[in-house]
Amino acid sequence: MATPPQTRNPELRKDPVTNRWVIFSPARAKRPSDFKSKSPENPNNNSSSSCPFCIGNEHQCAPEIFRVPPDPNWKLRVIENLYPALSRKLEHPNVQSGDSSNDLGGWGRVVPGFGFHDVVIETPVHSVQLSDLEPSEIGDVLIAYKRRIEQIKQFDSIKYIQVFKNHGASAGASMSHSHSQIIALPIVPPNVSARLDGMKEYFNQTGKCSLCEVQSKDLLINETSHFITIAPFAASFPFEIWITPRYHSSHFDELDKEKAVDLGRLLKLILKKMALQLNNPPFNFMIHDSPVQVTDSELLYSHWFLQIIPQLTGVGGFELGSGCYINPVFPDDAAKILRELNVPIEG
């Protein structure tokens, strides 16, 4: 049984997956069950008549990559981002052969900004959110991620592909119509390298994959045939949630239709629980995948997972300066609250 928060002392935890230290300081918080979003997200604050993501307004969008199904009455579309962070029109960089020189006296590295930045429009209807979809429909969104990842992987210069969703303006969403994004990079970001280093360290010490070894019942929220949902051992944020395959899988695009529907059901449940318990907070979710190219030895310990972060607290100077986060809610307390919340899901 979790210790009441008011009697718990601060402690530091290092997560074996993210390789990051987190300070748990319950004295800085109210009761975990009292955590609520101060600015709940209103998903319908834009007019559907002026929204380019709504069905009938396709002409207002950047070029389409594909739609499902491939007819006028689509259920989801994948399009280019109208304001991309990277350009798919640049010459493909060859990072291994050396970086370009720069005009700053050679200080730092420069790589051409080649890459992909796509938008996945999850529904044709403005008022419908991802959590409103049926599990099979959420599964279709996940399979669209898989399909687009497989297409992008054909470009040898792409090293890492990030799938993410920003829900709510304070979580970074510029459009209220339900959507997610995919950015493909010509480099492997440092957070990804640090995560792989953490997984490798655990594997070298135990001979086992760190995410395959998640067994603590105190951290478990919900589980299905193929996936489990946990509050991570060293959660950086209050009520942070991970959904991870129960089976060992290094790359998200190994997902098949059956597992996608199973994941869709669990994702719907968790988003519903989070909205009910935390007052419909803005949130981000990210699929933490392995780099496109990994060695056979790295496949033994690299394991993808989906991370959900409700926006309940801000990030201050200490976190930005140290890279060490302060979390006022112990993960076992958060897991217990979400685990005991009963939200029926059909489908």
**How is 65-78 classified by DSSP, letter by letter?**
EEEESSSSS-SEEE
Write down the pLDDT at residue 19: 81
Please classify residue 182 by burial: count the beta carbons closer than 10 Å to its beta carbon, then call 0-12 exposed, 13-18 middle and 19+ buried: buried
Q: Which residues are 59's β-sheet partners?
A: none
pLDDT digits (tens, 9 = 90+) for 18-50: 888 888 887 666 666 566 666 666 655 556 678
In the annotation, is 179 catalytic? yes
Q: Are the beta carbons of 301 and 195 closer than 8 angstroms? A: no
By C-alpha distance, which of 278, 282, 336, 347 is closest to 135? Answer: 347
Write down the pLDDT at residue 5: 47
Write down the pLDDT at residue 262: 97
Tokens at 114, concatenated: 């080649």
Write down the pLDDT at residue 102: 60
* Placement of tokens 């719907």 in the chain: 268
> Which H or E run contains 230?
strand 227-230
Q: Are the beta carbons of 284 and 239 closer than 8 angstroms? A: no
Q: Which residues are 184's β-sheet partners?
A: 116, 161
pLDDT digits (tens, 9 = 90+) for 104-128: 556 677 888 889 999 999 999 999 9
| Residue-wise DSSP of 69-103 | SSSSS-SEEEEE-SS-SSBTTSPPP-GGG-PBP-S
DSSP state of 153: T
How far apart are the C-alpha atoms of 97 and 93, rounded to whole Å?
9
Write down the pLDDT at residue 241: 96
Catalytic annotation, pick one of 179, 226, 251, 303: 179
Write down the pLDDT at residue 142: 98
Write down the pLDDT at residue 29: 62
Q: Going by C-beta distance under 8 Å and a sequence separation of 6 or more, which residues neighbour residue 30?
A: none
Share of the chain above pLDDT 70, in %: 86
pTM, two decimal places:
0.89
Indicate left, alpha or beta for 198 from its phi (over 0: left) and psi (-120 to 50: alpha). alpha
How far apart are the C-alpha atoms of 30 and 35, rounded to whole Å?
7
Radius of gyration of the chain (CA): 20
Q: Which residues are 286's β-sheet partners?
A: 164, 307
pLDDT digits (tens, 9 = 90+) for 279-318: 999 999 999 999 999 999 999 999 999 999 999 888 889 8
Write down the pLDDT at residue 100: 56
Low-confidence ranges of the chain (pLDDT < 70): 1-7, 27-48, 92-107, 347
